[in-house]
Chain A
Amino acid sequence: MKFFRFAEARVLWFLVLLLGGLEVGARLFEVHLSKDVKHIRSLPDVAAELKAAADSRLKVLIVGNSLSREGLDAEMLKQGLAARTGREVELAAMYPDGSNISQWYYGYRRYFDQTGAKPHLVIIGTSRPHLLDAPAEPDRLAAFYTSLQDMPQLLSEQSGDVEAISKAVLARGSMLFAHRGRVQPLVFYNLVPGYTETTQTLAVRREAGTPEQGGEAASVEKQAPAESVRCLSDLLGTFQKEGVKAMLVAIPMPQPYALPESVLTEANKAAVPVLSGGAAMHLEPRYFPDGYHLNAAGAAMFTRRLLEEIEKLPADSFSKP
């Protein structure tokens, strides 16, 4: 590759320096990009605190997404669990925005399991779709959730898809690449007039589609494979292997729902209690100010209900005897 020695060397160096500078910037300032990144980057500290806590305390880890973050009153839960078990509670949480079972599986392994920060109890907060296997963004998984040790597993799951593998590898190595998707919304939502409304309209129309086609949602539903819960099964398997107790908690949504049958079967197989009261809760819209997440009053109401359900669980549901 003789030409690399001389051709356009200054231009290429300029590009390398530009991208290198931005990479450094991305690494230094990524926590300022969003609360979510800040939360993800705080996970090693969260895990370290959990690890350092005395074993006499009940170490509880909440795993979920923004539904769990907004839908569970952490302090009330902590006090309730302490009252139920008679032990002081060390509460930690991993609930990045928009995450689901893939992120929870790899994130738990990277930040908690492989660092020896094992909780006694994991509470997985979910709604209907979050525990089902779904196409995950391999770059996001690789950059923020997957340890180097788990990278081969993540890559092998891409079934030889060169695009997905390349993106995962690039994102694992470059924070600039991993965060590339954050720039566009930042610029467009703030600077382009009408962008929010347009994207919402287009998303709705795409889902609705034309009457003859039955819409994108209908076609996705038609093409979607049968519900699979491989990731959940792997995560529960990891808990079982390490003697970590778990429970699944259905977080209320504006409309009542039922957890998928396959999730209930898998939980049953792993002897994991499912507290699905939240799924059936019909709360007034005022408890969902943004139409999706519970507000503080709703969270308190739900956590109280949850603690009543927890109260009924046998004593060995909280930690290995």
Chain B
Amino acid sequence: MWFNSFGFWLFFIVVALVYSRLRLAGQNRWLLLASYFFYGCFDWRFLSLILFCTVLNFHAGLRIAEAEDEKKRKFWIGWSIVISLFVLGIFKYLGFFTREMSALLQSAGVIHSPWVVELMLPAGISFFTFHALSYTIDVYRRDTQVSRSFVEFALFISFFPQLVAGPINRSTLLLPQMGRERPACDERRFREGLYAIVTGLFLMVVVADNMAWLAGHVFNSDPARLGGAEVLVGVYAFAFQIYGDFAGYSSIACGTACWLGFDLMENFRRPYFAISPQDFWQRWHISLSTWLRDYLYIPLGGNRSGRWGTYRNLMVTMLLGGLWHGAAWTFVVWGGIHGLWLAVHRAFGGAKKKTGQPTPGWLVVVKWAVTFHLVCLTWLMFRAETFSQAWALLLRLGSGWEWTAFVQTSVSLIGFFLLPWLLFEAWLEYKKDDHALLKTSWIWRAVLYGYLVLMMLFFPPPIPAEFIYFRF
């Protein structure tokens, strides 16, 4: 049940109507039921998994809070982390591990036929595992109150708008909202929710899905048959596909939650306007990057471990961040490249605090162009199925720069679908206000929504695309 399906909106209308008639306890039970139904629509067999994750971490949270002895607290936080990551590892990484191990043993002549164990990946497992871990770690650090209501905690883990693809909300933000009366959907909430939903749907339905078939052509073709310009436009298309897909999903999650009276964490802030790798990670998948910063990078020592220690911490964090995205070396290398880039940027003083002097306009443009293209190049590694494909595509970039029909079409379509949207984002960037549109006259919103709705109606993708982040 995707956010861009009629089924989801019928489901949401029923949920919201019943929800608006209930009081807090009833609302929580109803939302929990709805969330389990929502998750069951993906695969009902994995409901037991999310229930297991919930019980495990609820129990661990209680034990951590009750323990007076530091050893016991450490034991229970360790228990929560190890078991949660073990479950994640079994479902997500067992296939990868056995495949690599099998290849190694085969090359050493220990075994003769491959021995690979592949399990079906439960929807959103990486998201709800990190979600749950943030809770037990916060309880351990005494950053959040322990939850004594199972329903509230279970809802915190499984709240349907953010269940399968985030944002990864912190217990400090979301859990308190489970236990208190939530504001009704007043004018402000309706307006903000509508804005998030309409823009999110546009990004998913129009941008992501229309870019998907252009990117798919390049990444599903034999690299030898492609020219450099074709690879380049394919990489651009993928950059906007993954942005539209994920930012759109997150935006709809925030919008629907907003209508239900919840405030979720912002997950994207115009990432392709970033002017450095550090800036990019403050705008892209913010809930994951801050999670990794707070629960991995800082505990590793952050930037307090000296210069080389900081670089090591950046590399470890980004390598694991890459692995979080998927069980493949291409993801690890993608994370590694970002780690290296962050380290190099820091080494050259790019991460130093601003001096207060404004950066000249031309320099901002250069920095933006460099950042955008380097991000795009890393997407090439991210999207490629194998290293050899990534390398072959990379080599093709240096040759065959013909203006083929595919290049003409892609450039035209990227312009057609993205130029008005990017101009709008540029305006938001200029205003330095994510909600600038909500502060203008209603007519501007009406015009923008009219444009977005008509684009969704008249320009659906020629081939339906799958939601990328579902796999993570």
Residues of A near any B CB (own CB < 8 A): 1-3, 6-8, 10-11, 14-15, 18-19, 22, 162-163, 166-167, 176-177, 180-181, 183-184, 188, 191-195, 197-199, 201-202, 205-206, 210
CA distance A14 to B413 in the complex (A): 28
Which residues of A are found within 8 Å of B460, using beta-carbon distances?
180-181, 184
Q: Is the CB of B453 within 8 A of A19?
A: yes
Q: Is the CB of A8 within 8 A of B442?
A: yes
Q: Is the CB of B186 within 8 A of A3?
A: yes
Q: Is the CB of A18 within 8 A of B10?
A: no
Q: Is the CB of B449 within 8 A of A15?
A: yes
Given A166-B7, A193-B405; 13 other pairs, CB 8 A cutoff: A2-B184, A2-B185, A8-B442, A10-B442, A11-B446, A14-B442, A15-B446, A162-B5, A166-B10, A180-B457, A184-B458, A195-B409, A205-B220
Count A-B pairs with CB separation below 8 Å.
105
| Chain A contact surface mostly | helix
Q: Is the CB of A183 within 8 A of B458?
A: yes
Which residues of B are found within 8 Å of A201, using beta-carbon distances?
405-406
In the complex, the 10 A-B pairs of residues with the closest C-beta atoms, listed nearest first: A194-B405, A166-B6, A7-B190, A14-B446, A194-B408, A162-B7, A197-B405, A183-B458, A198-B409, A7-B187
Q: Is the CB of A177 within 8 A of B450?
A: no
Which residues of B are found within 8 Å of A3, using beta-carbon distances?
184-187, 189-190
Q: Is the CB of A18 within 8 A of B450?
A: yes
A-B contact pairs, 30 of them (CB 8 A): A1-B17, A2-B184, A3-B184, A3-B190, A7-B187, A7-B190, A7-B194, A8-B442, A8-B445, A14-B446, A15-B450, A15-B453, A19-B453, A162-B7, A163-B6, A166-B10, A180-B458, A183-B459, A184-B458, A184-B459, A184-B462, A193-B405, A195-B409, A195-B412, A197-B409, A198-B410, A199-B462, A202-B213, A205-B217, A205-B221
Which residues of B are found within 8 Å of A191, using beta-carbon distances?
412
- Whether a CB of chain A sits under 8 angstroms from the CB of B308 is no
- Whether a CB of chain A sits under 8 angstroms from the CB of B20 is yes
CA distance A22 to B449 in the complex (A): 15
Q: Which of A1, A10, A176, A192 contacts B412 (CB 8 A)?
A: A192
Which residues of A are found within 8 Å of B446, using beta-carbon distances?
10-11, 14-15
- Whether a CB of chain A sits under 8 angstroms from the CB of B416 is yes
CA distance A15 to B449 in the complex (A): 8
Which residues of A are found within 8 Å of B459, using beta-carbon distances?
183-184
Residue from A2, A8, A188 having most chain B Cβ neighbours under 10 A: A8
Given the contacts A166-B10, A202-B213, A210-B220, A8 and B194 also touching, CB distance less than 8 Å: yes
- Whether a CB of chain A sits under 8 angstroms from the CB of B149 is no
Closest to A19 in B: B453
Residues of B near any A CB (own CB < 8 A): 5-7, 10, 17, 20, 184-187, 189-191, 194, 213, 217, 220-222, 404-410, 412-413, 416, 442-443, 445-446, 449-450, 453-454, 457-460, 462-463
CB distance from A144 to the nearest CB of B (A): 18
| Chain B contact surface mostly | helix
CA distance A206 to B404 in the complex (A): 19
Which residues of A are found within 8 Å of B213, using beta-carbon distances?
202
CB distance from A233 to the nearest CB of B (A): 31
Residue from B222, B458, B462 having most chain A Cβ neighbours under 10 A: B458
Q: Which of A1, A181, A193 contacts B408 (CB 8 A)?
A: A193
CA distance A193 to B443 in the complex (A): 34
CA distance A79 to B412 in the complex (A): 53
Q: Is the CB of A193 within 8 A of B409?
A: yes
CB distance from A9 to the nearest CB of B (A): 9
CB distance from B336 to the nearest CB of A (A): 28
Closest to A199 in B: B462
Which residues of B are found within 8 Å of A8, using beta-carbon distances?
187, 190-191, 194, 442, 445
Which residues of A are found within 8 Å of B186, using beta-carbon distances?
3, 7
CA distance A206 to B217 in the complex (A): 9
CB distance from A182 to the nearest CB of B (A): 9
CA distance A15 to B197 in the complex (A): 15
CB distance from A214 to the nearest CB of B (A): 14
CB distance from A84 to the nearest CB of B (A): 47
CB distance from B212 to the nearest CB of A (A): 12
Which residues of A are found within 8 Å of B221, using beta-carbon distances?
205
Which residues of A are found within 8 Å of B453, using beta-carbon distances?
15, 18-19
Closest to B406 in A: A198
CB distance from A185 to the nearest CB of B (A): 9
Given the contacts A3-B190, A184-B458, A11 and B7 also touching, CB distance less than 8 Å: no
CB distance from A269 to the nearest CB of B (A): 38
Q: Which of B10, B189, B406, B409 contacts A162 (CB 8 A)?
A: B10
Which residues of A are found within 8 Å of B190, using beta-carbon distances?
3, 7-8
Closest to B222 in A: A210
CA distance A188 to B19 in the complex (A): 44
Q: Which of B413, B442, B454 contacts A192 (CB 8 A)?
A: B413
Given the contacts A2-B184, A11-B445, A184-B458, A194 and B404 also touching, CB distance less than 8 Å: yes
Which residues of B are found within 8 Å of A162, using beta-carbon distances?
5-7, 10
Which residues of B are found within 8 Å of A163, using beta-carbon distances?
5-7
Closest to A176 in B: B457
CB distance from A232 to the nearest CB of B (A): 28
Closest to A164 in B: B6
CB distance from A10 to the nearest CB of B (A): 5
Which residues of B are found within 8 Å of A184, using beta-carbon distances?
458-460, 462
